[in-house]
Amino acid sequence: MSIRALLVLALAVYSPLELLSADEPPKVPPSPTVGSVYGKAVTAADIGLTAPIDPTVQFDARDTARWKLMGRIITAFGVPVVERFVKKQKINATAAEIEKFELNLQKFNERSLRQWEARLLELQKELAAPNLSNENKAKLKKEQAMYETIVASIRELPKADKPNSIARHFIVAWKTERELHRMYGGRVIFQQAGLEALDGRRRLFEQAEKNGDIKFDDAGVRHLFYYYYADMKHTVVDEKGFEQPWFFGDGD
């Protein structure tokens, strides 16, 4: 057999195309871009978007799926803007503020511990009551177990290391919201961590969008991004709380 014939046979048996098709994984289409923040693309995969969003949809926190999607959108587009705001305004926590936070948190925990221990004593008396129904006994037992867990956790706190990262997080968050409100004004609401400059955040984001720092390629994504700030119902609170945050109280 000639050398040419051997080469033809080898190509037929060991075709590179066949080898490539056997080893190459199936191609996954790229996730569509839904916008960008400071020039960095945000894709549908980044926010877990699997279906189109109605840009007129109305909902509340009971719609868990949309609520979580809204949170992911706010995180993807809003957090970088707030972080840049914090850096620009040079917002930080001082050593004195961290010390004061930790002192007042300790006082709060001590007061709470006394209250929960008192409640446990009450529960013991209630559980010892005659003619206690099984239903009520089960409820009291459940409450007792909950408070026992809380009390045990609080008692362990003095033994644990106390990184100041928690204090720093609360203090920086408070100063950020306070500065947003001072700059932009508007409504203030209370969230788990403290006061939130609801309209201040929205106006910061609107300014960022106007400047081209935030861009939306999807109307539904944009709708959910602003929905929490512009369309949802919130209970407005007094802005004076910004001047004396709860964690700087006297702890009494």
The identity of residue 149, as a single letter, is: T
Does 181 fall in a domain?
yes
Does 95 fall in a domain?
no
Does 238 fall in a domain?
yes
Q: How far is residue 20's CA from residue 27's CA, in Å, rounded to a whole number?
A: 13
The total of structural domains in the chain comes to: 2
Question: Are both 36 and 84 inside the same structural domain?
Answer: yes
Residue by residue, what is the 3-state secondary structure of 132-200? CCHHHHHHHHHHHHHHHHHHHHHHHHHHCCCCCHHHHHHHHHHHHHHHHHHHHCCCCEEECCEEECHHH
* Residue for token pair 């916008």: 35
Handedness of CA 95, 250, 193, 175 (dihedral sign): negative
Overall average pLDDT of the 203-216 stretch: 98
Question: Are both 62 and 82 inside the same structural domain?
Answer: yes
With residue 36 as reference, give the H or E element that holds it.
strand 33-37
What pLDDT is attached to residue 236?
94
Q: Domain end: 117, 143, 159, which one? A: 159
Does 123 fall in a domain?
yes
CA 166 to chain CA centroid, nearest Å? 15
Q: Is 83 left (phi over 0), alpha (psi -120 to 50) or beta?
A: alpha
pLDDT of 8 over the 50 cut: no
Q: What's 28's DSSP letter?
A: P
CA dihedral 11, 17, 22, 28 (to 10 degrees): 180
Please state the pTM of the whole predicted model. Answer: 0.75
Lowest mean pLDDT among 23-37, 102-116, 130-144, 177-191: 23-37
Question: Are both 67 and 191 inside the same structural domain?
Answer: yes
Question: Are both 81 and 185 inside the same structural domain?
Answer: yes
Q: Domain end: 159, 180, 197, which one? A: 159
Q: How far is residue 188's CA from residue 195's CA, in Å, rounded to a whole number?
A: 7
Question: Are both 154 and 216 inside the same structural domain?
Answer: no
pLDDT of 251 over the 60 cut: no
Q: How confident is the model at residue 13 (pLDDT cuts 50, 70, 90)?
A: very low
Task: Tell me the pLDDT tens digit for each residue of 71-127.
Answer: 999 999 999 999 999 999 999 999 999 999 988 888 888 998 999 999 999 999 999
Q: Domain end: 159, 178, 207, which one? A: 159
Q: For residues 237 and 22, which has the higher predicted lDDT (pLDDT)?
A: 237
Question: Are both 68 and 169 inside the same structural domain?
Answer: yes
Question: Are both 197 and 122 inside the same structural domain?
Answer: no
Q: How confident is the model at residue 162 (pLDDT cuts 50, 70, 90)?
A: low
What pLDDT is attached to residue 246?
82
What pLDDT is attached to residue 20?
41
pLDDT of 224 over the 80 cut: yes
What pLDDT is attached to residue 19?
39
Does 15 fall in a domain?
no
Does 64 fall in a domain?
yes
Question: Are both 50 and 148 inside the same structural domain?
Answer: no
Q: Residues near 95 by Cβ (< 8 Å), separated by ≥ 6?
A: none
Question: Are both 224 and 150 inside the same structural domain?
Answer: no
Does 11 fall in a domain?
no
Calculate what percentage of the chain has a pLDDT beyond 70: 85
Question: Are both 54 and 122 inside the same structural domain?
Answer: no
pLDDT of 22 over the 50 cut: no
Question: Are both 218 and 129 inside the same structural domain?
Answer: no
Question: Are both 229 and 108 inside the same structural domain?
Answer: no
Does 178 fall in a domain?
yes
- Structural domain of residue 84, as residue ranges? 28-90+163-252
